[in-house]
Structure 1
Amino acid sequence: MRKTTVGAAAIASALIASLTLASGGPATAAHATASEPGPTRTSLPVLIDPAADLANDPDQANQSWYVTAHVTAGGHRYGFLAHYLNSSFGKQGGAISRVSVVNEDTGWYTKSEIALPAATGLSDKQGVDIHTDNITWTGDAKEMKLRAKVPEGSIDVTLRPHGSTLYNMGTGYFPMFGDAKYSNYEYALPTVDTSGSLTLNGRAEKVHGQSWVDRQWGPLPDLLTGSGSWSWMNLNLSNGDKVSVWNQKYGDKETNFATILKPDGTQTVAEATLTPDESTRWTSPATGKSYPTRWKVTIPGEHAKLNVTVYAKDQELTVPTPGYEGSAAVTGTYDHRPVTGNTYIELTNGQ
């Protein structure tokens, strides 16, 4: 049974652990052998269970299941996204099921977005079990099957997570917008072997690559009012580090942090800045909204200075309101050494 509400003492203990991480204290993780499928277990005092918490929790009005991938197929590099969001936004709440595919070599892009009544397509089964017209996503933390449809075809892949789980803020818990009344839980399976097929316009190609599976739940303000916004990135770096970077804005308050998962399983929480290059803004001909297409990401504790550039400018999603989910390339320096990588950048309310 999932437990998404914890006592104050447990949160305090976990936050102390997070502060220890942020100050450079030790963080250790127990490792499974290479033959064991699924994510390894940790000895950190985390507040979520990455296997059990994949399941739908009907008590949570706001829940997100999110997978992004960077793969090769037919001699090209592709990014793809599948996202199911159940939310309390608006008068009655609702759900969104969306898929996008971008050719990272040519900039070709397509998408499918469906607005649904709240909780449509969810079940009470263990693991992830989502069924909509454009997403069928089932399985557990050891293996998942994903079929995602776009107008030109479909993605049919098997997802096999392994390695360490990334626990946002070191414990899987953080107050969104720095406000305890928006207590959110988030973790990622950032190393997911991905294989299967990509079919576009009747042509099927074998797919190989890596995905990042992200799971989040917890109360939020009604974002449809425009009162809150965020920018978020999931950085996959060539040195093996996986980084979740948040920039959250609510009114005149701004919160920034990065959670860094090292190849050996240790985790660090650090200050970070995510600065858009305003001179690179792209204006959507469909909605009139504008979005930056390049950013500077700095993480002083890691001596990181990174440049993030989208592979295609037109990666806007419009349901229920305009936002951006863009596959992007990463270059720069990290720990004083050259580094490359890729990411998806998520922008809400045109941030």
Structure 2
Amino acid sequence: MFIPTTFLVAVSGVAAYTGTPYDFTPDNAAQPLEAGIPLSTNWTALQNVQGNSFWSSSFVTATNDRQYLILSHYLTVANFSGLWRGSILDIGNPSEYVTHSEAVTDAPFITSPNGRFDVEYSNFTYQALTDDSISVLQTTSITEGYTYNITHTTSSETLLNWGGNPWQWGNGPTTQWSSPHNRVEGTFSLNGGETLKIDPERSFTWYDRQIVNSTIVGLWTWFELHFPQDDIYASIWSIELPDNVTERFATIKTPYGTHLTPCTLIEDEESRWTSEKTGKSYYSNWVLDFPSGDSLSVRQPALGQEMHLVSATINRTEIEAFVVVDQATLLGQELSGGWGLVEIAADET
């Protein structure tokens, strides 16, 4: 059963941010599915287990030479209820943004009769095209405001968040694996415009699999950051749990290996804004500090990009927004040209 939800079009009050096109070149790893360390599970096992989050962010250059951020997400929660949602942002003109969220109360088969990962609803799919359930994935969606048909091929070395170790979230552990720079191809459209084709040489998909073995609690800010000039990318968490418990840590992938480190998050009070749509308030400027003395200054250039769902079975509101890195020092090295995505689950005002 589908539960109809509100279709959203958000128009930013911030001027479009332009400049040199971003480097969205995909990786071409020789053994992209090899973790390189002993693990108790693998990508195929994670794909074929019922539950939690199957998520992708595609940073694409279209054949019209414009760049876009396309999100696709399927989430299951308790009692097999959940949601699917997506969004498309024109990065150079953020007034061109559309998003849709829809609650579901019947669980699809996570695996098809042939054993592959397979999620299918009438207006949304996420499916494996190979028997290992991960090498090639396709996601599609058709809504009033956008369409996409995207196929991403695993071509990037696995990023094991917190080294593949579970961390506490709520009453149980969570595990997160990411495949950051996968080759992507396909088509999409937004706001009733022409169907655009993705240029696979100038586009990539970050695919993310997260398993949470309890009800999600607390608030969080999560950063997906890319520094293509230095072949560095990072997954950075700041989680606010009940009883003033915080978890803040970063997983940083470099050409020389993966670095795990705690961090602190400083939110710029002057950047705080409140959504007219939901009444929730968010920050749009942050500084991330690390024990080594390194730091990152991150900014959301265009406000908005809020994904909102209220239903009888699930309520979810988060920012899923494009960000830029204004200043970066990591592992003692000054970096340039950073950008990525922030996900925020914040307080209501």
Do they fold alike, i.e. is TM over 0.5? yes
Aligned CA distance change for structure 1 residues 304 and 218 (closer, same or farther; 3 Å): same
Give the conservation status (yes or no) of the 8 Å contact 2:269–2:283.
Answer: yes
2:185 counterpart (183, 191, 195): 195
Q: Does 1:313 align with 2:306?
A: no
Q: How far apart are the structure 2 equivalents of 1:118 and 1:219? A: 20
Query: After the TM superposition, which residues 256-295 of structure 1 pair with which residues of structure 2 at under 5 Å, given as runs?
Result: 256-264=248-256, 266-295=257-286
Match of 1:250 in 2: 241
Displacement after TM superposition at 1:311 (Å): 4.2
Match of 1:70 in 2: 59
Q: How far apart are the structure 2 equivalents of 1:87 and 1:173? A: 19
3-state SS of the aligned residue for 1:52?
helix
1:310-341 per-residue CA deviation (whole Å, 9 max, x = no partner) reads 24311111222322211222231223323222
TM-score (norm 2): 0.79
Counterpart AA for 2:303: K
Give the conservation status (yes or no) of the 8 Å contact 2:29–2:155.
Answer: no
Q: Does 1:344 align with 2:341?
A: yes
1:53-82 per-residue CA deviation (whole Å, 9 max, x = no partner) reads 112x24xxx510010121112222111111
1:8-62 per-residue CA deviation (whole Å, 9 max, x = no partner) reads xxxxxxxxxxxxxxxxxxxxxxxxxx685x723133123330233112x24xxx5
TM-score (norm 1): 0.78
1:213 counterpart (204, 207, 211): 207
1:117 counterpart (105, 109, 132): 105
Q: Does 1:330 align with 2:330?
A: no
Query: After the TM superposition, which residues 99-118 of structure 1 pair with which residues of structure 2 at under 5 Å, given as runs?
Result: 99-107=86-94, 108-118=96-106
Percent pairwise identity: 23
Match of 1:161 in 2: 154
Aligned CA distance change for structure 1 residues 135 and 299 (closer, same or farther; 3 Å): farther
Aligned CA distance change for structure 1 residues 67 and 202 (closer, same or farther; 3 Å): same
2:167 counterpart (155, 170, 174): 174
1:72-105 per-residue CA deviation (whole Å, 9 max, x = no partner) reads 12222111111111012xxx56201000111111
Query: After the TM superposition, which residues 209-248 of structure 1 pair with which residues of structure 2 at under 5 Å, given as runs?
Result: 209-221=203-215, 223=217, 228-238=218-228, 239-248=230-239
Q: CA RMSD in A?
A: 2.3
Counterpart AA for 2:58: A
Aligned CA distance change for structure 1 residues 127 and 317 (closer, same or farther; 3 Å): same
Aligned CA distance change for structure 1 residues 35 and 240 (closer, same or farther; 3 Å): closer
Match of 1:50 in 2: 43
Q: How far apart are the structure 1 equivalents of 2:271 and 2:249? A: 24
Displacement after TM superposition at 1:202 (Å): 4.0
Q: Which runs of 5+ in 2 are unaligned?
A: 1-27, 310-314
Q: Which runs of 5+ in 1 are unaligned?
A: 1-33
